[in-house]
Chain A
Amino acid sequence: MKRFTEEHEWVEIDGDIATIGISAHAAKELGDITFIDMPETDVEIAQGDVLTVVESVKAASDVFSPLSGIVSEVNPALEKNPEVMNESPEHDGWICRMSRINTDELSGLMTEEEYSDFVG
């Protein structure tokens, strides 16, 4: 199950683990991504908190956590090659995985179809 936020993050639920990233729309809007301030693992994050900062050539943008939980894993590919986030924002360019999530929070997020309408 995949959901999107109005701030252009996506979250995909597989069992009790959530994988998080930014949408293809957001990656395109940002342009060339040059740096990602990877979140720390084992840190507890609340829904809507700043999870990380993504920098493009022109600007720095906050990425907000779509769910509450604990960061269990970060994507090692992004540290050396942030451009992976441009090339594959919704697959290989995932930012982190979270455990101890609260799936009730998903009800406030958009489905893929709703998000597609949202970004027009």
Chain B
Amino acid sequence: MNSESADTLQSIPLEAAHIRAGARMAPFGGWNMPLHYAHGIIHEHRHTRSSVSLFDCSHMGQFRITGESVAADLDRMLPRRVSDQRVGTCRYNFLLAEDGTVVDDIIVYRLHENTYFVVVNGGTIDGDANHIRRHLSDGSVFTDASATTGKLDVQGPGAAGVLAQCGLPAGALPRYFRFAETEIFGIPCLISRTGYTGELGFELYFDAARSLDVWTQLLVCKNLEPAGLGARDTLRLEMGYPLYGHELSRSTTPVEAGFGSFIDNDRPYIGADSLQRPPGRRLTGLRFDGRRAVRAGAAIESVDGALIGVVTSGSFSPSLEVAVAMAYLDVFSATPGTAVIARSRKIDIPGVTVTLPFYARGSVRDTIAV
């Protein structure tokens, strides 16, 4: 991402374990993270699509918010209601500024009637904590549990098989966007059926002090291999999932990013007024003919040479074996099937707008056989 010097990077608990496992480490959002292991990003990507991978996401933040007025507080803050969310479910949501732009994209878990667990991006923890605290009423108690919470993601069509090997049979696993509070290897663990890859998968939260135990014992499982943030990025790109700092930021709104139908328009919340205007641009998928990547920042032009937008993420797609990108395009140019030209490093690369996701064969919603 940005130029982050090594001496200011924060360490995750498993840093040494990753290095021992052959990881190439790289800065991401202020954290020193595994980019890939010995077999490389493409192998890890394909292994996640065909089998199952283990991702360390301990850089991400977790907050616990409790109190009788929490549901009302969060409803005033978030564009998707949490007060009608059932205990045991997760919901994708956004922290918004008054102008409707995105402070962060988050997942809200309703742990109990008056307790919510909020998962946020690793590079935005402090800003998110300040934002939420500022908008809570006096009776709500906010705890930043980021430093004491470990997070490992088991992602891939073989994910349920891995958890079965760990003593969690299919019947014990939560359904899509639900969670269960259970144990793994005798360690208390919250498991949600969520992820960022487009495959069947689970996110595991546990005491950060037990990270090495969980990591080491999981990796004994048949088929499970470690995968880094490089594969996580290409996997999410193929699904058209936004990455904070790219598709979502303080200069974009959830409506522009394509989440207009997710968010409530029948009640007030922070930023609601700003989201009423129809957006002038729209997050759009671009598919190119060749393998040459079009990367973030590249200009997109119409075939007659007019500037119509800019790329937010782009890469060679290991599943499609061509380059794909996401870009904010002028709404009049965002219709699927529109021919465009990407200007990348002074070279013109022809492409076409397509509907997201790029990759539609993922196992993310598959039913687990019990």
Contact = CB atoms under 8 A, between A and B. Distances in A.
Nearest to B234: A57
Interface string A56-92: 0110100000000000000000000010001000000
The main secondary structure of chain B at its interface with chain A is mixed
Interface string B182-196: 000000000000000
Interface residues on B, range: 20 to 34
Contact of A55 (B24, B43, B292): B292
A58 B24 CA distance: 13
B101 interface: no
A37 B323 CA distance: 14
B293 A35 contact: yes
B230 A35 contact: no
A52 to B, nearest CB: 12
A89 B36 CA distance: 20
B295 interface: yes
Contact of A34 (B36, B43, B293): B293
A32 interface: yes
B292 A32 contact: no
Contacts of A86: 40
Given A31-B24, A35-B293, A60 B345 contact: yes
Interface in A8-46: 31-32, 34-35, 37
Contacts of A55: 291-293, 316
Contacts of B347: 37
A53 interface: yes
A58 B41 contact: yes
Contacts of A53: 345
Interface string B103-133: 0000000000000000000000000000000
What are the 5 tightest A-B residue pairs by CB atom distance, in nearest-first order?
A34-B316, A35-B291, A32-B42, A57-B41, A32-B40
5 contacts: A31-B35, A35-B323, A37-B347, A57-B41, A57-B230
Interface of A: 31-32, 34-35, 37, 53, 55, 57-58, 60, 82, 86
Given A31-B40, A60-B293, 20 more contacts: A31-B24, A31-B230, A32-B42, A32-B43, A34-B42, A34-B293, A34-B316, A35-B290, A35-B291, A35-B316, A35-B323, A37-B292, A55-B316, A57-B41, A57-B230, A57-B315, A57-B318, A58-B41, A58-B230, A82-B291
